[in-house]
Structure 1
Amino acid sequence: MKIGIGYDVHRLQEGRKLILGGVEVPHSKGLYGHSDGDVLTHAIVDAILGALGRGDIGRHFPDTSEEYKDIYSIKLLERVVEYMDSEGYSIGNLDCIIAAQKPKLAPYIEDMEKLIAKTLKTEVGNVNIKATTTEKLGFEGREEGISSQAVVLLNN
């Protein structure tokens, strides 16, 4: 077994779609980033890369590369799943949290879990996504950005 942790944060900006866990969430702002800014998927990518001992998202998908400009982050996760498969690992379980004051994410979490599970080639029961506000504290609470953390257990 191998364990990995991932963390990501992006600021909110008008004129962008809000994508979390590969799912478009209706909101007046989206996450700014070189890719689609999907903090949840980026945290999952980093957790898996960390468990595999392969560095981080920036090493594999640099924000200086036009190849990754505005890319749908699920595509990045698919590539990391290929690394995981090539080393003989599969998902034991994945536990994630998204910190955002707004919008309310509960109506979208089931769709995120289904898409992430499908991408990871695992059962939906192995993927858990939670959302929380920060009680109006910090940059998330001031609605300046959204952060996410992920912990993954890989089985060989």
Structure 2
Amino acid sequence: MNSSIRVGHGYDCHRLALPPEGGLLVLGGLHLEHEKGPVAHSDGDALLHAVTDAVLGALGLDDLGTQFPDTDPRWHGASSDHFLREAIRQAHDLGWRVGNMDATVLLERPRLAPHRSALRENLARLLDVSPDLINIKGKSGEGLGPVGQGQLVEVHATVLMHRSD
């Protein structure tokens, strides 16, 4: 059955650590001031990774780890906006565009509220949509579990795709 809309869900998480093990904290393509950063092969941007997987999932394509494996030295330290731009290119080539995106970021600190507008603007630019079609929610772990203890960042993202015809 052909459909004119598709929905994709993406998830990513990264352990957070102090330097030198953890890098700079990057979320949604923005560097956020924090003493800990993700332990990752690329820049560890869990928000862009989850959104990329949501786009790829909606299209029925191979996921982030398959297309950009962490065993490939080309992706060591890579900026995650490259991965998302490539997923959007694939979507456009197949005749699909993003309708809207919704994400939930689970992170104890820093709080996302002061960065929400900039995050929405950057995601809108990367997804080639208006910022009013982007929603990003920050949730803390209330001191519980790895997120609440500041040891982990988790992101869930959902993307609606529609035919561009």
Q: TM-score, length-normalised on structure 2?
A: 0.93
User: After the TM superposition, which segments of 4 or more aligned residues of structure 1 sit over 3 Å from their partners?
Assistant: none
Residues 91 and 126 in structure 1, CA contact (< 8 A), matched pair in contact too: no
Structure 2 counterpart of 1:8, from 9, 12, 28: 12
**Residues of 2 paired with 1:111 and 1:74: CA distance?**
15
1:106 aligned partner, one-letter code: A
Higher Rg: 2
* Deviation of the 1:134 alpha carbon: 1.5
Residue 43 of structure 1 corresponds to which residue in structure 2?
50
How do 1:109-148 residues align onto structure 2 when only pairs under 5 Å count? 109-148=116-155
How do 1:59-70 residues align onto structure 2 when only pairs under 5 Å count? 59-70=66-77
* Deviation of the 1:55 alpha carbon: 2.4
1:80 aligned partner, one-letter code: A
What stretches of structure 1 of length at least 5 have no aligned partner? none
**Residues of 1 paired with 2:141 and 2:37: CA distance?**
18
Identity of aligned residues (%): 37
Secondary structure of 2:138's aligned partner = strand
Equivalenced residue count is 156
Residues 109 and 129 in structure 1, CA contact (< 8 A), matched pair in contact too: yes
Matched, 1:104 2:111: yes
* Deviation of the 1:93 alpha carbon: 0.7
How do 1:16-95 residues align onto structure 2 when only pairs under 5 Å count? 16-95=23-102
